[in-house]
Chains A and B, each alone.
Chain A
């Protein structure tokens, strides 16, 4: 906070110095629009800064002055002598207060009410400045132009290269130890200098974020709202210049979110949301960009209202505006002169709108993206280029060339020496299995057309690109380096493989690989992954890591069975097993139960078996030995046809078949005899189901009816009506579903229909 205050004071002091001329000029010609604007901007900036620095007195003064100046700008008031004097008195007072804050002194506020009152229309009282000029404290910081920093940086790079050159030359001949020591010292100093100079340009984005919690709290409190702020990625580093440019837009967007986006607690309750609004501000690096996201869960942008308002301002008509594409409509928030709310509050600005935000971002080569969910929230993503950013990179070698890969994109690095990674071919593409993850493999040499050097070990960098990960095969992993990345020329960027170029200490230029670009060049498609991940999440919520019993089957295969159905593991005499009524059965505890045997068992020895139980039915399963209790991974490759094995899971890098408990009990419980065929109720039938579906269902072992007899309950309801209640299995006429949430079944999908019914019956 101290830093911010210092900066505010320095800025105010500086602007005041520059402004003093303007003020005098305005005094002589109050009609000068340009001068008026300059003064307006000054008080506006002060007002904005006071908001989050908690300087209420300055805030009150600047707000009052801004109000009056806004009236003048709008033509509602004429800048007469009294008004000019009053404004000038306030500007002076702001200067005095700033100096007092800097010197840590207090200034009595007796005259301030008078100053503000003097602004009122018709007041001809000429306020006299009251302060006697506080002592000026010596400045603790210097403001530097970025251009100077640039020159310093490039001079520094030259120096590093010169040192390297010198060191190289010295290595060739006999060197006096004293010269060597001097070089050593030089190297050290140059290294330190370089770090310092580098740091002068870079700043953690934290510098932008630190002011936010207080600002959010105060802004929300001022509006009677309650907002929880989450911040992520505050250690992402950004060029200092960019941070400066980002400051105002970020503050503006955050305020907008709270003021216009997040609703009042009462409205939120009504809308079924938590009273606490949620605001997430995050920064991350993605490829050659840094993305700052501001997401709220408020009401989003009301496009209808936006259009009505813009049509009223002109010049475009409502019809023209409505004809725009959805995206273009959303982009209308960037139109100048737009304030989404009708009243001007202390929080949001006056005419300093999203248009200013966007132009500020575009000025540094960035862009603003909106993701609007009306009623649910708005996400604003600011993309700024990585240009001039320093990034931590891993240097990899392929053939005899080196490339940098952003450290942030790399999850881990593995070699094929251990058992850490396994490469298989699936179809025409290579797949790497790292622990229990299967990810695509991209061979950097192949991708870039570089011949690889023969080496004993191969290295793999596991690269993550937002939507998914892949393994990147390289020859060597050389180094971890901090690199200054600069944009490469279009000729280089057009390949789509590189994010920029850099000049490391070696003096030989190096390219920074664009991980996302490589993925698309290698035609990796993670979109299916995304859908899959959603499904997985649902499953996990139901059964977080299902435990299972791993056993060695009689046929020597390792299989697993869900632990939930294993009643116990027992040793029994083999002579209890008989082949009777076409099925191996075992007599135990006065009962007969079916025995499942895969392979051969020795009839003269004791037999290990699993007793599997689903509540009523009991099935025995002969095994060689029980091995371990394991947690099943989320992923399972399903078996081709339903049967004893539900699918294959990967456990410690080994394929293990998982028994299908559902099928097992279904298959072996029939002989209990008591079970009645499940009743299927057909509803909303137009005759089609009776003639087409009924035979199918009956052959699958269901009883079918269109009307329930009194006291009868259907095991499952099958409906042709797509709006049937959720418990029913719904049929649809179109082949394709209408979306992810559509769980209806195409009516000629026999397998799908039967399995859906089965699942519903089984769930009961």
Chain B
């Protein structure tokens, strides 16, 4: 069954994000750092009157952070808390059909936990990821 997916660039790869998980896409302004928090927690940012926890998606995937300050973020809500997951770029929103992740792909590191399936765009396979699994504190629960 076709479902709306957001196609984004994270850590130089293309990923698909279930649109149900996405509340909005925003540009993050100034971020307040959270000393002593996990490395991939970038900090807090204000989104109108709401405070969101900014997650460095790349680092949450276990990859080296480029160090560049990505500003575009996908807002998602997990357990009543709002998170902004930084993405490099957004390509597209389109309906896709989710295909199971089989055939023996060996996804490395955190990709394996985040991966939920595959969508196909013009013959190109794109990994569909679960945002909640990238949110620190929930990643374990998502297992």
Contacts and interface: CB of A to CB of B under 8 A. Distances in A.
Asked if A and B are interacting partners, one says: yes
Interface of A: 154-155, 157-158, 161, 401, 447-450, 486-492, 494-495, 497-498, 501-503, 507-511, 521
A491 B53 contact: yes
A492 B31 CA distance: 14
B81 interface: yes
A43 B139 CA distance: 49
Given A489-B83, A494-B137, A508-B30, A448 B44 contact: no
A401 B137 contact: no
Most B CB contacts (10 A, CB to CB) among A401, A502, A508 go to A508
A449 B50 CA distance: 27
B114 interface: no
B49 A154 contact: yes
A510 B53 contact: no
Range for the number of chain B residues in contact with chain A: 20 to 34
Interface stretch (B14-22, B34-42, B64-72, B102-110): B34-42
Contacts of B48: 157-158, 161
Given A447-B36, A488-B53, A494-B137, 18 more contacts: A158-B48, A449-B35, A488-B81, A489-B83, A490-B137, A491-B34, A491-B41, A491-B135, A492-B44, A492-B53, A494-B37, A494-B38, A495-B34, A498-B34, A501-B44, A502-B51, A503-B46, A503-B51
Given A490-B81, A492-B53, A509-B46, A497 B36 contact: yes
Contacts of B136: 490-491, 494
A510 B31 CA distance: 10
Contacts of A157: 48-49
- 4 A-B pairs with least C-beta separation: A490-B137, A157-B49, A448-B35, A509-B44
Contacts of B38: 491, 494
A321 B31 CA distance: 53
Interface of B: 30, 32-38, 41, 43-46, 48-51, 53, 55, 79, 81-83, 135-138
Contact of A510 (B32, B35, B36, B135): B32
A492 B37 contact: yes
A495 B37 contact: yes
7 contacts: A448-B36, A491-B34, A491-B53, A492-B34, A492-B41, A497-B35, A508-B46
A508 B32 contact: yes
A401 B51 contact: no
A150 to B, nearest CB: 11
B37 A509 contact: no
Given A489-B137, A508-B30, A158 B36 contact: no
Contacts of B135: 489, 491
Interface secondary structure of A, over-half rule: mixed
A509 B46 CA distance: 6
Nearest to B80: A487
Given A401-B32, A450-B35, A507-B46, A501 B51 contact: yes
B35 to A, nearest CB: 3
A489 B53 contact: yes
Q: Give the residue among A486, A492, A501, A503 with the most B Cβ atoms within 10 A.
A: A492
A241 to B, nearest CB: 16
A497 B38 CA distance: 13
Contacts of A521: 36
The interface centre, meaning the residue of B34, B53, B135, B137 with most chain A CB atoms within 10 A of its CB, is: B34
B36 A401 contact: no
A161 B49 contact: yes
A401 B45 contact: no
Nearest to A487: B81
**Residue among B30, B35, B41, B48 with the most chain A CB within 10 A?**
B35
B49 A511 contact: no
Contacts of B50: 154, 503
B51 A509 contact: yes
Nearest to B45: A509
A497 B82 CA distance: 20
A492 B34 CA distance: 7
Nearest to A506: B46
A521 B38 CA distance: 15
A79 to B, nearest CB: 44
A494 B53 CA distance: 13
A491 B37 contact: yes
A70 B86 CA distance: 60
A161 B49 CA distance: 8
Nearest to A511: B34
A158 B81 contact: no
A186 to B, nearest CB: 18
A157 B50 CA distance: 9
